[in-house]
Each structure stands twice: as C-alpha cells, then as structure tokens.
Structure 1
C-alpha cells in the first residue's frame, strides 16, 4: 500500500497477497484485537457448525424415533448460526476495510476508533448486503431453472451426455458465483470508503471490476477452494473422526489447528478485498484524494461530515 496510486494497477494476484499480508505489521495491536474479537468467532462458528449439527442430523436419520424435536432444534440452530455468521461477517468487513483505509490515509489507527466507526459503517454494509442477497436469490432461481430444463431436455438414459451437461452447468455456476462474490466484496469496500451504498455501490462495483474480472474471480475461487479444503479436513477428522478411530486429543489438536488456519485465511481474505479495491481504482486511472478520504473516514467518528461526494475518485487522465 506504500506504492504510488498509479502503480497499484500493475499488482498481480501474488503481489496483492504479499501486500495484504504485510498490512497488519503497520498496526499489529489493532489487527490482533480485530482478529481476536471478530474474525476468530466468525471462523470458529464456520467450523463448529458441523460439529453441533452432526448429532442432530444423525438422530433425524434414525427411522425408529420421532424427529419433531430434532427438526425444531436443527432449524433454530441454523437460524441462529446464519444470523451470527451474517453479523460477524459484516462487522469483520467493516473493521478491516476501515482500518486499512485509515492506514492508507495516515489517519491514527486504534482498535477503539475502529469500533467507534463500526455502527455507521455496518448500516451501509447491511443495505448493500440486502441488494447482493436479492441478486443471489435471483441467480439461484435461474440456476435451478436451468438444471430443471436440462433434466427435461437431455436424454437421461445417455449417462455420458447427461453427466457432461451437469459438469458444464456446474462450472458455469461456479464462474458466475465467483463473479457475483467478487462484485459483492468490492461493493462492500465501496460502501465504506465512498459516499454510496446499496444498489449504487453494486453499480459502481460493476464498473470498476471491468478489466479485473478474471483477477477478482481467481482470488474469490482460491478463497473458496482453501476454505472448502479446511472444512473438509475438519469434517473428516474432527466431526467424523470417531468413526475412523481418531483419539479425542488428536481431534482437539487438529480442530484447534484448523480453526487457527481459517482465522488467518479469513483475515487475509478481508485484507485482500481492501487492496483489490485500490487495484481496480488504479486500473481505471482513478486516483484517491487522500484528504477527502481522511475526512470521509472521520465522518464515521463524528470528526467531520462531508458536504459533497468528494471521495469520488478523480480521473487522472
């Protein structure tokens, strides 16, 4: 982040990761507290989710007992889990994006100032998330419709053709899903750093992602793969480890290690989405007025309320 703004556009996927990993060194105490209070609970909940739902699902699969109470417990737990995941995901995004932007503008950084800014930042992120959620719902409905049409149109007796068609549809699903996720992450950063949010942030995200779609999708897909591998290991060793004669101590050690790894992955993921925003702005030759951004960030702390959209990037051409 110490590079000149016009050179950020030349960062590759690897150098984005390197720059992201180096950011916490500028304010280690702040990032340590953010990680401990926000990112660790988020990461623990993601992995521990299957640990708590597995016994309920096992009971539900038992054909000789009533499943009413188990279904009730499972639905309540799932609802609470999704709410927890949603809240801590937005809180973590708000904290990391605000802190990185503060460092970028040489604004004094502390954990207390970051926490003070979160309430206003959270509101903007929440509205943006609602729009993203709407897009995701529409997208999934369209995807299900394509699958149903595929089942109807393709001869299911021809296994090779049917399997190949499913693979193609699944790959397209992953590609589009990665793109929408990249769009969402970029819109989240825009909601914090610019005087727009909601649909306007989504539209701005769509505009500045042009030319960097492949990079954004690769970063998102890589994150999905790593998280999937961690979840798979946690499920096979910690959750189902008793079935494969893994000892309790071994499962605890492995579980703790995997939670730690996911914490690091999530922290780097939040940092990457912040850095990727600056890369996209630089690619479109849009500089950031650091003084205006400084004032904009101060507005979350009650220091200054911008009278106009001065954070909007100026064209350097």
Structure 2
C-alpha cells in the first residue's frame, strides 16, 4: 500500500474501490493462490447450490402435484406421501450442509484476505504457506463473532416478526395495519443493512485487533460512525452485483433448458468468473474500509504493534496482557 494512513480517511466510495483493485493487481500472485484454494470452491458451492436446490424443489412440486390428483387412502397415495416426506428431508439436509460449508469457506476466505492485507500494510514477509497456517487460528475468532451476530440477527428478526403479528391481531385488515406494516418493513430493512455492515467490519476487527465477538461488534459500531453512507453504498453495490449475477445464472443456466448447451455452459462459466472476482473484491474492500474508518477517527495503526499481533497467530510473539494492539490516538 503506497498511501500514508492519514490519507486513507479522504478515500471516498470510488477511492476505496480503486485502492482495492490496486492491491489485488500489485499482489496478484498471493491473491490468486488464496482465490484458487478458498474462494474458488466457495464460488462453485454457491452456484451449485442454486442448481441443486432448483432440481430438488422441482421434484418436490412434481410429487405434490401427483399426490393432489391421487385418491387418498390408496397405496399410490401413501407411497407418494412417503416420497414427499423423504424429498423434503433431503432438501432441508442439503440446505443445512450447504450453509455449513458456505460459512466455513466464507470465514476462512475472510481470515486469509484480511491477514494478507494486514501483512502487506506492515511490510511483513508474506508467503502463501504462512497465510494458510494462520487461517485456522484466525477462523476461530471469526466464528465467535459470527455466532454473536447470528444471535443479534435472531433477536432482531424475532422482535420485527412479533410487531407485525401484533399489528395484524389488533388491527386486522385495516388501512392502519397496512401503513404500519410498510413502516415496519422499511425500518427493518434499514436496520438489517446496518447490522450486516457492522458484521462485515467486525470480521476485520476480529482479525486485526484483540477484540472479537461482542467487543468486535461494539468496536465496529464506533468505527462506522462518520462513514455510514460510504459503507451502505458499498453494501448495495456489492449486493446489487451479486443479485445480477444470480439472476443471470438462474435465467440462462438453471432455467435455460431452451438454450443450446454451449450457451448454457458459456453463461455458467461467465457467472462463475464474475462471482469469483466479486467475492475476492468484496473481501478486500471491507478490509480497506476498516483502514479508512480507523484513519477517519484518527486511530493510529502502529505497524510495529500490528506486526507483533500478526506474529502472535504464528506463535512468534505473545502480546502483552491488557494491551490493545495497534490502537493509539494521534492528533491532527
């Protein structure tokens, strides 16, 4: 990184994108290795999930249709009921397995990319072997942060659903209940986006600072102040890109049986490459956003302390107890 920390606070939306691109290009070898090892299988599983889920659900709908036109009480009806139950069990087991593998690969990819950028920032000697040796240790901290955020999202969704149910019980089928529903949905979406941004930044905090879990979430909330608009804009742009890729894949590959085979394969490869680049780009961006937020709040990231913190993952350095690594205020 060729920018001084004080300059990072002046990076806007496009500045963050440009800086992320420059880092990837400058260190393309190490990022290519991380991509092939972690992000490539993540991308494959993500797209394969769409295709397999569609196939499983299609079988379920077909069985349900056959059951509806079959007389109850017959042997065929009972067999269809057993088949339908089995298909639903298979569908949900597949979903659980998918989300488990997706979570593991996502956290491993996050750990690898954040650690790599931090090493680049501190000028440490960086090898792919060293990154992969650190990833499992950093992954544990990220998992704790994820579980805390999962609990926060669960409580948030529970209260949102409770409010909606209460509104419809008290004011059923009324204009007032409809207005309240729209207001609740708007507020809910705003809160959901904000919490997601907090989670992404907390993941970086969990790797680069001594805080993780609830402390990382709190630190993330403090860092995001003053940069909410940029963070939310990044969230929307990345997720809009993700949505467009998913739509293209579903339209041309999953539901593209009417197209020629070479077209479906071509669009499948295109979506795969675009999604691969988007995942890598997104992870780099959230790390750069962290550095921008630190600079904005004049929190000096001491390269020596940060380097020692990174070495602690390798067992080369044990940070002092009670010391907040790389966190010092500087005056402007």
Q: What is the TM-score when the length of structure 1 is the normalising length?
A: 0.93
1:176 pairs with one of 188, 191, 195: 191
TM score, norm. by length of structure 2: 0.89
User: Structure 2 vs 1, CA of residues 49 and 164 (structure 1 numbering), >3 Å: closer, same or farther?
Assistant: farther
Kindly tell me the number of residue pairs found equivalent between the two proteins: 313
Report the Cα distance in structure 1 between the residues aligned to 2:121 and 2:296, rounded to whole angstroms: 18
Q: CA RMSD in A?
A: 1.7
Q: Which moved more, 1:84-93 or 1:146-155?
A: 146-155
Per-residue CA deviations over 1:16-69 (Å, capped at 9, x if unaligned) read 011011112232211001111111111221222120011211121122233122
Q: Distance in 2 between matches of 1:200 and 1:286?
A: 17
CA distance change for structure 1 residues 88 and 258 in 2, over 3 Å: closer, same or farther?
Answer: same
1:292 aligns with: 305
Of the three residues 145, 148, 157, the one matched with 1:140 is 157
Query: What SS is found at the alignment partner of 1:11?
Result: coil
In 2, the alpha carbon distance for the partners of 1:73 and 1:196 equals: 39
Q: Residue 119 of structure 1 corresponds to which residue in structure 2? A: 136
| Contact residue 27 and residue 109 of structure 1 kept, 8 A | no
Residue of structure 2 in register with 1:313 after alignment: 327
Out of 274, 282, 287, the position equivalent to 1:261 is 274
Which residue of 112, 115, 124 maps to 1:98?
115
- Say which is worse superposed, 262-271 or 25-34, in terms of deviation: 25-34
Alignment of 1:269-288 (within 5 A): 269-288=282-301
Pair 1:249 & 2:262 matched: yes
Work out whether residues 292 and 310 of structure 1, in 8 Å CA contact, stay in contact via their aligned partners in 2: no
Greater Cα radius of gyration, structure 1 or 2 = 2
Structure 1 residue 209 corresponds to structure 2 residue 229: no
User: 1:35/1:281 Cα in 2 relative to 1: closer, same or farther (>3 Å)?
Assistant: same
Q: 1:23 maps to which residue?
A: 23
Q: Deviations over 1:62-90 (max 9, x none)?
A: 22233122112111111110111100000
CA distance in structure 2 between the partners assigned to 1:31 and 1:239 by the alignment:
30
- State the 1:138 CA deviation: 0.8
Label 1:257 to 1:119 Cα distance change in 2 as closer, same or farther (>3 A): same
CA distance in 1, matches of 2:329, 2:307: 19
Q: 198, 202, 220: which is aligned to 1:187?
A: 202
Give SS of 2:220's match.
helix
CA displacement at 1:240 relative to structure 2: 0.9
Partner of 1:40: 40
Worse-superposed segment, 69-78 or 261-270:
69-78
